[in-house]
Structure 1
Amino acid sequence: MPIGAVSREFLSTNRSICEKDRNTERQGQLRFKPLFVALSLALVLPTAQPYAAESVQGAAMADGADGSELPVVTVTARQGEERAVDVPFGLSVIGGEELEARHLQTAEEALKGTPGVTVNSYGGEPNSANILIRGNGSLNQVSMDDGSVVMIVDGVSMSMRNVSLGTLDVERVEVLKGPQGTLFGGNSQAGAINIVTRKPTRMFEGHVRGEYGQDRQHLEEAVVSGPLSERLSGRFAVRNSGFDHWIESALDGKPLAKPTDLAFRGSLLWDIASGTNMLFTAERHENKRSPRLTMLRPYDDPPSQDFTPGIFDDNRKVVGRYSVEINHDLRDSRVTSITAYTSTDYDSVGGYDRRNMQALYGFPVEYLRKDSSEQKVVSQDLRWTSLPGASVFWVTGLSLSKSERTYDSTYPTGGNRQDRDFKTDSYAAYGEVTYPLGDALKLTGGLRQSWDRKRYDATYYGAGAVQDNRRLSDDYATGRMALSYAVTPHANVYGALSRGYQSGGFSDFATQVADSKPYKPSSSNAVEIGFKTESADRRFALNGALFLTRVKDDHLLGYDPATFSTSTISADTESKGAELEGAWRVGGGFEFSGGLSYIDATITSDAIGALGGDVLAGSRKPDVSRWSGNLAVTHRIPLPEFMGLSSPVLNSRLSYQYVGARPADAQNHFDLRAYRKVDMRIGVVSGNAEIYVYGDNLLDEQYDLFGYWASPTVTQGAPARGRTLGVGAVYYF
């Protein structure tokens, strides 16, 4: 959130911002023509978000110059193992090897490359991420707890504010589309991100990897896994990476910051007895020196900011996860217990540089705000599920979590401070079943009842100290109904109705008692019809869906310049559209994959008093492009022996991504232009080793990461990184 949303201390001593213009362009109803074009193009061109890929080493051995079957994709999208083709709602799966091939080092980067998914992290700041799936998600996030997409890592729920987590040793990322409240509770009304990491193995294996590229991009990674005793296996993974930021300091011409990431994960798998095991996992991820970017548009060439050098050196975020998972197989079912403790420590300085302040207020001064947050969460999930492959899929369970969080803001310029404490206790009971009504027809039903208890205690410091104490209780039900029909042994069609919910809460931006009134909960109803099909020889697969979601009481940040008061304003929204994804192994070592998405997302009610000006019904939802898509081609082919290499294989990938124009804000003051991104990776595999070169953003497009309307003459945002090239090497053992 731009610092202007809470900088009333400075505004109180300067002139008011001019009344903002409104763009009242109203969007019409979704027409059949764009949907028909989208479906037709994807059926002609087998473009879709790829399924989990094989490893470079395995693919080189298996494919050679001939095509082969697409891998069977198994997911845990519903808390139990099943084939992705049998899940009665839309999802995309990105395999770990594909993450490496596409050079996707964080979950955020993986989501940005998925058609129909939007990520706004305000210039890449590691504690700010607003995720929208199929055009659904918070209009403005008013707290760290206010989100419409939940992230699950190895069965442990985490805030989407941690989407900057690295993809270290990840087996797959499952993007679950549409409300997922049945199994994952509140804050999943737009969808869920299910991240599954690799587990310890009974065979000794591992790899080491190194990369170096422009702007001093570097990555060092090592993974080792194998047996420690007859019943105990272990796995350890570590990754260190960093780069010189592509934004320069206007004062000395050096990089504005030099962000680094250090992550490690250790896990132990104990086979206690036949059908019983326990997995212990300890994980830590530390990000340092990532800047908050709020820059004047249009950007300089090269882009620069007028901050004091080193201002971001103390920015830091540390995420820890410690969990114990116990699985016990009964005769026809499985009992799973996951106990977890997660922690997040965050310190960040950001604000307006001298250029921003000169443009906004006529004073070339540096305006800063420091935010600090600590969160500790204890959670327990106990569930009972059918075994993989059972004729009837079912899952039922109980979950609870206790969270304690602080969010403190200090204004070095004005000397004001706010200390805020949040406590949340959540409890839930849930269940879902898919029951066959015949040889081809299946019925799915799911229900979850949740109970949330929230507490807010704050002290606001200005002329004096003011105490603020609030309480909130929220009980709600979410659920899903679906029918699926097997048209052929290789093709399913389905229809689903689902209800999502986003619990009410307290704003992170309250600076006085008048600001801290609890914001309303948000609810959604969604309908989806789709198909999932693959060819008999399993070389071609295609999924498609039509969807409609209506959301009541989505959240916007409000601001009253007369009283300098922030608030949360509600607005209703609607999103409808179509999507396709698939993959095709055509032979000769070639595979095509990609995706195409059309989304018409609008705000359907007025929101008076929103930050930036009133929002009128008919405005397009911010950050959501109507059209987005990608296309990738991979090629694996044996090479003649050279330089003493044994049975070398050329392993290459070229990918293209398109994101259409999208509104910068809810008022539709201006649009962020469409962009195209082309990436490539070319490697030579020999035995257990590969040497490769990679290129990101080969077209060198300077597109916007986000946009913000500050006044009739001032707009802000942040530019993405330009073209970069690098080299890497990996050795598997």
Structure 2
Amino acid sequence: MRSEFLPKQLAQAIALTALSSGIAIAQESSFALEEVVVTAQKRSENIQDVPISISAVSGAKIAEAGIKDMDDLAAYVPNLDISTGNNTQIRMRGLGSGLNKGFEQSVGMYIDGVYHGRDRSYRGSLLDLERVEVLRGPQGILFGKNTIAGAINIATAKPSSDFSGELGFSLGSDELRKAHAVINGSLSDTVYGRVALMGSSQDAQIDNSLAAPGGVETDDRMIRASLLWDANEDLEVSLKLEQGRFERAGTTYQVTDSGVYTDAYFAQFAPSFESNFDELTHIDNTLGEQSENTESDNLTLSAVYSLGNHSLTSTTAYIGFESQDGLDTDFSPVPLLFNETSQDFSQFSQEIRLASEGGELLDYIIGFYYQNSNLKYRDLGRYNLQPIAVPARAGSIKTFDQDSESFAVFSEATWNVSEAFSVTAGLRYASETKEADSELSIIEFNGQAASPATAGLMQAFGYFAHQQDAKRRESNITPLIKFSYFLTDDVMFYGTASTGFKSGGFNTEVLNPATSPLEFDNEKSKAVEFGLKSTLLDGAAQFNLAIFRTEFEDLQVSGYDGLAFIVGNAAEATSQGIEMDGMWRINENLTIGGSYAYLDSSYGSYANAPCTFVQKTQSQGVCEQDLSGQTLHYAPESTANLNISYEFDLNEDYSLELAADANYSDDFLLQTDLDPEDSQEAFTKFNARIVLRNTASDWELSLLGKNLSNEYTANNGVDIPLLEGGTHIKNTLPLRSLALQFLSRF
């Protein structure tokens, strides 16, 4: 049973460790892997010395493999799932946030040390990077805010004194056109600058049988300018300004099951309609244009000052974005529902840290964090009810305004008992205040004030005019303790006991205050993790293992009730499992690597979960189901990655690299109600690349292939609003694609 904790998987992991150790003894010659340096503990360290389950992907790997967004990145990291679209959802070890503008992510996103709690502020951040670090499990001390399930730590490339640059061009499937440029160098003896810019466009990847965009046409622009002032041997100051514009048109959603309405009903609006999960959608633009437009601005000022054996770091940041979206919210050819939404978000934050030099008997970090933010959200809904035999049209305007202010103090100290054994303790105190105003107005379809008849009709469909305001204040203390023990210089064991906290907030989607509360509570977690990190074969191989268990209390959930995503708190949930990853450079030319993750995640108690359509038809009134003991959605039991790279010289100036990887996922469910109709079957996706390099002139030409097995996959699925009746939709993720990529460095 899945509730039993991993005896088979643990035995396999131990056996694999023993096998790896045996290889290490037998191997006589080796070729060392490149050292990976990370800042997961706010210090620069070898990733193999960090007592955390962590994966890192270098900026070079991201560029060479054509990893264009967060979705692509997730395929290379165990137990990480990222889906982008109208909203970005990040889940780690089966845990994450649902679809509601009131939610911040349970997996904290940090870019150059700055917290990004809203997905629209980091859509272009895979440009010109040093690395991406993925930290699994609660990271509540040093990263802090809302990192209850993990953290993603992105480091952009920094200016340096050397004159250098890069030019890149890509041409690919569906009229992909992408170009980027980077230039770096000295502006004076002490000031260095770096500018990176990117432009990208792509046509729809699936067709539309109607006269509306398919899905999804993209047009993105981004620029980042960075300055570094090396003032003296004690002070370094950096400034980063980033602006982006990201446009989407169309959608990949399609009806996959017409239910009681039958295909013939939908064919009245789209003659070639068929309810298949394929490359053809049938979404109209009768009530509005399908679009998504975001403009973002980010400014970060950092200073590092050496104070003898200590360093003082200050990070000041502003984050802002504006977005306007148009979405056909019935996701079908029926001209039924359409929503125009907008967000206006701004955030200011300040962090100050004092850190000891490191490598002493007692190493420590203490710090202070402050943040305030404002979110304005507006949703204009248009409802043409005539296709469901209701001779009326109506509308609604939803407005939501939230102010948030938080501060925290934190400290983490490591006692280096001996050269081999260290113990770390940490503590963070945080306080947050949120205020929200929420209002729903019923209007006529043409925008005029609603008549009593229209208001009554909308109430029949669950929409009630109302105005609410609320304020909440909460504080918490999150402790941590961990140890690391080096059995040898190359083999480390570690253990961690930690807690996590995610603040509560307000639901932006309230339609009826009597059935959907405005406020949801905070969630808490307790986690234990034990792991092994080993470097083998004189540095030519690595093998890492983590065993974890996390228990959540008052897990924040978002469940769809047929009209809107209703948020609340499930009582309990547990996520436990194992993660393994390894890499072996067999000889000078050949490197293989891989990862495997087993996940057992379930609700300990969730008695008031939303019902499936079948359950609703059998219910005599308000319907709720008890999902206690059931598996979480978006939580495949097993995921794995296998990659191989072979590089050899053609002559003195040219080399050729052949690389391939396979990414496997077990089946998983897509919605909180765990309806089996909204599911994704198990799949394996294959990617490959061929790279011709000129070592003399430092350029490379690559042919990239993604999803070569042409797997049809989705990361979202739901009942069609109002047209419930067993009707379901899914979104189609990118299918097979090819791209030709050129990179030149100087």
1:695 counterpart = 2:654: no
Change (3 A) 1:36 1:602: same
Query: Among residues 161, 170, 178, which one is paired with 1:211 in the alignment?
Result: 170
1:329 counterpart = 2:292: no
Q: CA deviation at 1:293?
A: 4.4
Query: Among residues 42, 45, 68, which one is paired with 1:105 in the alignment?
Result: 68
Amino acid at match of 1:593: G
Q: 8 Å contact 2:572–2:604 — kept in the other structure? A: yes
Amino acid at match of 1:432: E
Q: CA deviation at 1:683?
A: 1.2
Q: 8 Å contact 2:211–2:284 — kept in the other structure? A: no
Amino acid at match of 1:652: L
- CA distance in 1 between counterparts of 2:564 and 2:149 reads 32
Q: CA deviation at 1:619?
A: 1.0
State the partner residue of 2:24: none
Amino acid at match of 1:184: F
1:148 counterpart = 2:149: no
Query: Among residues 442, 449, 452, which one is paired with 2:432 in the alignment?
Result: 452
Q: Deviations over 1:120-166 (max 9, x none)?
A: 44xx33xx12222122223x344343321110000110025245334
1:375 counterpart = 2:375: no
Pairwise mapping of residues 656-671 of structure 1 onto structure 2 (< 5 A)? 656-670=662-676, 671=679
Pairwise mapping of residues 78-117 of structure 1 onto structure 2 (< 5 A)? 78-117=41-80
Pairwise mapping of residues 559-708 of structure 1 onto structure 2 (< 5 A)? 566-610=566-610, 612=612, 613-640=624-651, 647-670=653-676, 671-686=679-694, 687=696, 688-708=698-718
- CA distance in 2 between counterparts of 1:353 and 1:610 reads 19
- CA distance in 2 between counterparts of 1:213 and 1:315 reads 23
Q: 8 Å contact 1:376–1:405 — kept in the other structure? A: yes
- CA distance in 2 between counterparts of 1:450 and 1:611 reads 36
Q: CA deviation at 1:415?
A: 1.7
- CA distance in 1 between counterparts of 2:105 and 2:725 reads 30
Pairwise mapping of residues 113-512 of structure 1 onto structure 2 (< 5 A)? 113-121=76-84, 124-125=85-86, 128-138=87-97, 140-159=98-117, 161-162=119-120, 164-252=123-211, 255-297=214-256, 299=276, 301-308=278-285, 312=289, 314-353=291-330, 355=332, 364-387=334-357, 392-413=362-383, 414-462=394-442, 463=450, 466-512=466-512
Change (3 A) 1:337 1:234: same
State the partner residue of 2:460: none
Matched residue of 1:35: which SS? helix
- CA distance in 1 between counterparts of 2:159 and 2:369 reads 26
State the partner residue of 2:262: none
Matched residue of 1:85: which SS? helix
1:713 counterpart = 2:730: no
- CA distance in 2 between counterparts of 1:709 and 1:316 reads 26
State the partner residue of 1:54: none
Query: Among residues 723, 727, 732, which one is paired with 2:740 in the alignment?
Result: 727
- CA distance in 2 between counterparts of 1:587 and 1:412 reads 63
Matched residue of 2:328: which SS? strand
Q: 8 Å contact 2:241–2:298 — kept in the other structure? A: yes
Q: CA deviation at 1:319?
A: 2.2
- Output the TM-score relative to the length of structure 1: 0.87
What is the percent sequence identity of the aligned residues?
25
Q: 8 Å contact 2:75–2:663 — kept in the other structure? A: no
Change (3 A) 1:569 1:336: closer
Q: CA deviation at 1:70?
A: 1.4
Matched residue of 1:411: which SS? strand
Q: 8 Å contact 1:695–1:724 — kept in the other structure? A: yes
Q: CA deviation at 1:493?
A: 0.1
1:35 counterpart = 2:46: no
Matched residue of 1:188: which SS? coil
- CA distance in 2 between counterparts of 1:627 and 1:517 reads 37
State the partner residue of 1:51: none
Change (3 A) 1:170 1:567: closer
- CA distance in 2 between counterparts of 1:509 and 1:280 reads 38
Q: Which has the higher contact order (CA 8 A, sep 6+)?
A: 1
Q: CA deviation at 1:439?
A: 2.8
Q: 8 Å contact 2:640–2:663 — kept in the other structure? A: yes
Q: CA deviation at 1:691?
A: 1.2
Change (3 A) 1:647 1:67: farther
Change (3 A) 1:696 1:685: same
- CA distance in 2 between counterparts of 1:276 and 1:107 reads 34
Matched residue of 1:273: which SS? coil
- CA distance in 2 between counterparts of 1:111 and 1:82 reads 23
Q: 8 Å contact 1:77–1:176 — kept in the other structure? A: yes
Choose 194-203 or 181-190, whichever is displaced more: 181-190
Q: 8 Å contact 2:217–2:250 — kept in the other structure? A: no
Matched residue of 1:110: which SS? helix
Q: Deviations over 1:95-140 (max 9, x none)?
A: 111112221112342124312112244xx33xx12222122223x3
Amino acid at match of 2:108: V
- CA distance in 2 between counterparts of 1:429 and 1:109 reads 35
Amino acid at match of 1:372: S
Q: Deviations over 1:289-335 (max 9, x none)?
A: 25454421253543213222895565201222101101101211100
Q: CA deviation at 1:478?
A: 1.1
Q: CA deviation at 1:537?
A: 1.7
- CA distance in 2 between counterparts of 1:440 and 1:94 reads 28
Structure 2 spans left out of the alignment, 5+ residues: 22-28, 257-274, 384-393, 443-449, 456-464, 613-623
Choose 540-549 or 286-295, whichever is displaced more: 286-295
Q: CA deviation at 1:689?
A: 1.1
Change (3 A) 1:559 1:300: closer
Q: CA deviation at 1:367?
A: 1.5
- CA distance in 2 between counterparts of 1:667 and 1:340 reads 39
- CA distance in 2 between counterparts of 1:453 and 1:626 reads 38
Q: 8 Å contact 1:497–1:525 — kept in the other structure? A: yes
Matched residue of 1:537: which SS? helix
Q: Deviations over 1:57-97 (max 9, x none)?
A: xxxxxxxxx97321222211122222222222211011111
- CA distance in 2 between counterparts of 1:483 and 1:631 reads 31
Q: 8 Å contact 1:653–1:682 — kept in the other structure? A: yes
Q: Deviations over 1:439-482 (max 9, x none)?
A: 31100111100000100012221158743211000101112100
State the partner residue of 1:535: 536
Amino acid at match of 1:95: S
Q: 8 Å contact 1:557–1:611 — kept in the other structure? A: no
- CA distance in 2 between counterparts of 1:712 and 1:38 reads 46
- Output the TM-score relative to the length of structure 2: 0.86
